[in-house]
Amino acid sequence: MFKGSYVALITPMDANGQIDYQDLEACIQFHIENGSDGIVSVGTTGESATLPFDEHIKVVKRTVDIAAGRIPVIAGSGANSTDEAVFLSREMAPLGVDGFLSVVPYYNKPQQAGMIAHFNAIADATDVPVLLYNVPGRTVADMLPETVAVLAEHKNIVGLKDATGDLQRLTDTKALVPDDFVILSGDDETSCEFLKLGGHGVISVTANIVPGPMAKMCQAARDNNFALCTAINAEIEKLHSALFVEPNPVMPKWAMYKMGLIKNPELRLPMVIPELASQKAIEAVLHEYALMK
């Protein structure tokens, strides 16, 4: 488990900014039909920072219920307050999630020792496996490989989503953790090389748009068919950059709206729909890939 292509699923919303559970079901079905290996529900791409706890938990519950065991579901359980992250984890553990994804606390810039205490507290709170999530471009604080190695000693901490985009980090981390510790890419642009260097999979934004190719790219790497892995990535690499022209999840929501996968591109403030130039840029790529009419 926790290998291959896990989609960092968006949270669909209606024109009034409320969760669109009909579209959520359609998105989950889309990923099951197109070969995604798993779903991350209400991670940062799912707008976890702006969903209140009751809504956050409800979306995860509905995702698990809709998935109905057909595809693994990892729930975002991160917060910059340890107490809040522990609360979320305890509330969602009985829902049937397969794992938690917990981000390095943002804004308060914890020391490495603080990160160790934070993640150990989360892992102590339930028996659900925990994946660490390092994304210093969002959180400012950067979790070092040596810190990951300490945390990997906890029986419930089973892996890492590395969104640094620094391939040397993968090599450095692999040298310090057990062989069964899962390391996933959280950076689509470098994910192909990450897989070729021994990464176990991806938690992907691009997979919202092209789940099939992302899953096949991961499978090719697992089969040591690196030529195929590279070829698949070359076919979709324009999406990797186009989806980050504006802060995530602005662009994937717009792309999915234009593809007809969701009815509205709404986001929670302070995020808003993309500027006209960005809309045209992603639409041009979608047209090139024949993903929209």
**Residues 62-114 pLDDT 10s:** 999 999 999 999 999 999 999 999 999 999 999 999 999 999 999 999 999 99
Who's near 211: CB < 8 A, 6+ residues apart? 5, 7, 30, 31, 34, 35, 36
The tens digit of pLDDT for each residue in 128-146 reads: 999 999 999 999 999 999 9
Q: Is 133 an active-site residue? A: yes
Selecting among 6, 106, 133, 257, the annotated active-site residue is 133
* DSSP for residue 69: T
Q: Is 106 an active-site residue? A: no
* Distance from C-alpha of 144 to C-alpha of 46, rounded to nearest angstrom: 25
Q: Is the pTM of this model over 0.85?
A: yes
The pair of structure tokens assigned to 259 is 């593809």
Question: Domain 4-236 is classified in which CATH homologous superfamily?
Answer: Aldolase class I (3.20.20.70)
Selecting among 61, 161, 216, 258, the annotated active-site residue is 161
* Distance from C-alpha of 240 to C-alpha of 194, rounded to nearest angstrom: 14
The tens digit of pLDDT for each residue in 231-257 reads: 999 999 999 999 999 999 999 999 999
The pair of structure tokens assigned to 177 is 């953790």
For residue 293, name the pLDDT band (cuts at 50, 70, 90).
confident
Instruction: Show me where the domains of the chain are located.
Output: 4-236
Q: Distance of alpha carbon 289 from its chain centroid, rounded?
A: 23
For residue 1, name the pLDDT band (cuts at 50, 70, 90).
confident
User: What are 21's strand-pairing partners?
Assistant: none
CB 115 within 8 A of CB 142: no
* Distance from C-alpha of 98 to C-alpha of 127, rounded to nearest angstrom: 10
Q: What residue numbers does the annotated binding site for pyruvate cover?
A: 45, 203
Give residue 114's identity as a one-letter amino acid code.
G
